[in-house]
Amino acid sequence: DSGVTQTPKHLITATGQRVTLRCSPRSGDLSVYWYQQSLDQGLQFLIQYYNGEERAKGNILERFSAQQFPDLHSELNLSSLELGDSALYFCASSEEGGSTEAFFGQGTRLTVV
């Protein structure tokens, strides 16, 4: 158990819909990272938040957004969903953003039908 909690574990929704994925980082960790893993793209970095502020942005689509709340939990919002958005979405956290290891949650498997 990494200490990072992601909910829900599984999500099935229709194209065009909007969903919210939730992540609770390890106690004391200030940074939260979101990754997408699909069969053809591998693990792709989406975005990082550090203590409530956006710190780094990767290959995140404009239809996707994220935020980190004062209690440090984070949400990833995915809208206007397409079939190609079906993937595993992982959240990770670390103490800071420096040379420390990141701890990954068990992921949310999103299926868009």
The yes or no reply on residue 31 touching another protein (CB under 8 A) is yes
For residues 58 and 84, which CB has a smaller minimum distance to another protein in the complex? 58
What is the SS3 assignment for 83? helix
Tokens representing 16 are 């065009």
Q: Of these, 45, 61, 79, 86, which contacts another protein (CB under 8 A)?
A: 45
Backbone angles phi, psi at 84, to 5 degrees: -70, -10
Pairing of strands 10-13, 108-112: parallel
The yes or no reply on residue 97 touching another protein (CB under 8 A) is yes
The yes or no reply on residue 42 touching another protein (CB under 8 A) is yes
CA–CA dist 2, 55 (Å, integer): 23
The yes or no reply on residue 20 touching another protein (CB under 8 A) is no
Backbone angles phi, psi at 36, to 5 degrees: -115, 135
| Binding region for another protein (CB under 8 A) | 2, 4, 31, 33, 35, 37, 42-45, 48, 50, 55-56, 58, 88, 90, 92, 94, 96-107, 109
